[in-house]
Amino acid sequence: MSSLNLEEIRRNINRRQQINKIFAILGLLVIFVAILTLLGLILEMVIDGHSRISPDFFTSFPSRKPEKAGILAAWVGTSLVMVVTAVAAVPLGVAAAIYLEEYARKNLLADLIEINVTNLAGVPSIVYGLLALGLFVYQFNLGESILTAGLTLALLILPVVIVTTREALRAIPNNLREAAYALGASKWQMIWDHILPYSFGSILTGAIVGLSRAIGETAPIITIGALTFIAFLPDSPLREEFPYISFAWLQAPFTVMPIQMFNWVSRPNAEFHINAAAAGTVLIGMTLMMNGIAIYLRYLFRKDIKW
Amino acid sequence: MVRCCWVSAPLNLRLCDMGKSKMPPEHKKIERKLELQMNLKRNIGKITGVVALVAATIGLAVPAVQSQSRTRIKIDGSSTVFPITEAVAEEFQKEQRGSVQVTVGISGTGGGFKKFCSDNPSVRTHISDASRPMKKKEQDMCRAQGIEYIELPVAYDAITVVINRNNSWAESMTTDDLKKMWDSSGQGRITRWSQVNPNWPNEPLRLYGPGADSGTFDYFNEVIIGKGNSSRGDYTASEDDNVLVQGVAKDNTAIGYFGLAYYLENKDKIRAVAVDGVLPSPYTVNNGTYSPLSRPIYIYVNKKAADDVPALKRFVEYYLQNAREYVEEVGYVSLSDADYQKALDRFQNRETGRVPLREGL
């Protein structure tokens, strides 16, 4: 009787282990399909576009002649917009997260803010574009400028920055906070001297992941009036005379990489489609570079942290 | 020594290096944390370095272009007109050696007019590209803002009906055939070529056309199906004409329509249909025989700006004087020299309003 029982238990275990294996294989297959599709798409684009990538491609303005057209205005525009986005979104987002995580009391207001932040992360980007058109362009008269675009994308990634920063802050063990208090630190000293430095790596990762999303956005930028043909660069931020820095570039008209690609893709001439693939390759390169920096910084900050 | 470490550990770790291994675990933790803080300080230096490097790269990459003294000409509007305006803007800027900056956007004909006559002066454009004449509502909007404009036709776009290269029966058709195919009454009912014309084979009829937001769609409906009627909805729609080209090229029994430039660029993949016996070409468009599917496309110039900004005046003159060359280069059909001259005269006399230059223009 007991040996029969044992047999049954063994069979049962065997069966469950088989199901376990099948699920593992299934999971692996799903991952492969996803990754291979992505790799296939990227590879096809790189193969189409690599022949056009040359120094000239980076230093030429758009042109009606595909072989002369380049992405100078687009990549400079994208870089400058990203600078504005980062400067606006990171301090705001980190500050908001610190407030929500360390200061806010659990009450209706905090709940309300929290629900809003989570929901904002899911709002389609075109809605931010319309909001920015009404607010920045028409109300504040900021024009169809780099500043407007940067602020729009900053709004777009603000929820991402807030959520990741909050997670980073939450990951710091509570006994550290208590230890700081025990030594007489004020709340702000505790945050500034301990919590922020320890979570810096994760916060940075979150910010860069947010920026990587912003760099590929087209809809909100088109809505606020980014241009398609622009054959000059914004004013240089550096000047030869005092005070050596200039912010005129903030008000300059601009275009960004995704818009340049969109325009080239919709042209009849097949040569332009190659340009679009090349620009896409560069854009993916820029995104990968940003993510690479994020990973490296996280490693740099985390390698010494052992709780 | 070890004893001293116990007491002084939080204050002075360096003294305790020798006794480290004997330290209680909590103190190791504190020590690690202090080390960590120092590491962080060092790393912040590194990060500042990286940021400075990136900033310097951008700073160096942006040459010292001072635009304050330069005139900027703002153009926005139809993506159909964009390639022509882009070509003119490119060459005009070269000719002016960068003293004038021209920007061109693609907000669509309607979106362009919204900016052209906006109640907010900071978004107003100097020129609006349009693939159709200004509508009554838009004229009212401009009047409300006190904006006078000069309408100038710059080229023709010929809507081309195309079929697959393997299609041997539909090289020519009438506008009535087209109406039968695209009218909303045929939705779900007319699904085979033989239903349109008994001489055609009993093959499935698959339709490809631009989406409802497109000016090409509007125009095709107006002249083929007629005002007040609507296009059927059961066709493959795309705002990207290249998608339509691909669709028709791969489908033996397909038919579609889009701008002439996309046909000229893909002649090896698709075949144009003669409508009422006439094939679209620069010649047939210009002499008026390829009708009704050819339409003029326009630029609208803000009159006050043309008076006040000398560079804008030069730009429009340059546009009309050189349009012929650039229009043909980007795959559109140019007007006759006489018509360009008439448009130039109109601009120089500053004749405003929505008035045809001549019959059909």
* Digit-coded pLDDT (tens) for A205-217: 889 889 988 998 8
Residue B47 lies in a domain: yes
A106 vs B14: which has the higher pLDDT: A106
* pLDDT tens per residue, range B242-298: 889 999 999 999 999 998 988 988 899 999 999 999 999 888 998 889 988 998 999
**Does residue B61 have a pLDDT over 50?**
no
| Domain identity same for B132 and B187 | no
Residues sharing a CB contact under 8 Å with residue B260, sequence separation 6 or more, in sequence order: B157, B158, B159, B160, B280, B285, B331, B332, B333
**Does residue B163 have a pLDDT over 80?**
yes
Any idea how long chain A is? Answer: 307
Residue A84, CA distances (Å) to A36, A37, A228, A268 in order: 35, 34, 20, 35
The CATH number that applies at residue B340 is: 3.40.190.10
Residue B104, CA distances (Å) to A146, A199, B117, B161 in order: 16, 45, 17, 29
* Joined tokens for residue B109: 């004909």
The closest alpha carbon to B298, from B84, B139, B74, B73, belongs to: B84
Residue B254 lies in a domain: yes
Q: Report if pTM > 0.80.
A: no
Q: What domain count does chain B have?
A: 3
Which of A77-91, A234-248, B308-322, B340-354 shows the lowest mean pLDDT across its residues? Answer: A234-248
| Domain identity same for B269 and B176 | yes
Residue B356 lies in a domain: no
The closest alpha carbon to B182, from B156, B203, B212, belongs to: B212
Q: Is B105 on the interface with A (CB under 8 A)?
A: yes
Q: Looking at beta carbons, which residues of chain B come within 8 Å of A240?
A: 64
Q: Looking at beta carbons, which residues of chain B come within 8 Å of A239?
A: 64
Q: What is the pLDDT of residue B279?
A: 93
ipTM above 0.85, yes or no: no
Q: Looking at beta carbons, which residues of chain B come within 8 Å of A265?
A: 240, 242
Q: What is the pLDDT of residue B9?
A: 39
Q: What is the pLDDT of residue B128?
A: 95
| Domain identity same for B181 and B289 | yes
**Which residue type occupies B205?**
L
* Joined tokens for residue B157: 């776009």
* pLDDT tens per residue, range B293-335: 998 999 999 999 999 999 999 999 999 999 999 998 888 999 9
Closest chain B residue to the Cα of A268, Cα to Cα? B262
Q: Is B334 on the interface with A (CB under 8 A)?
A: no
The closest alpha carbon to A65, from A273, A280, A272, belongs to: A272
Q: Which residues pair with B158 in a beta bridge?
A: B294
pLDDT band of B10, cuts 50, 70, 90: very low
Q: Is B185 on the interface with A (CB under 8 A)?
A: no
| Domain identity same for B144 and B162 | no
Residue B41 structural domain: 2-56
A62 conformational bin, left if phi > 0, alpha if psi -120 to 50, beta if neither? beta
Task: For CA atoms A217, A219, A223, A229, give the dihedral sign.
Answer: positive
| Domain identity same for B248 and B135 | no
| Domain identity same for B289 and B178 | yes
Are B153 and B358 in contact by the 8 Å Cβ rule? The answer is: no
| Domain identity same for B11 and B35 | yes
| Domain identity same for B139 and B250 | no
User: Does B240 contact A270 at a Cβ distance shorter than 8 Å?
Assistant: no
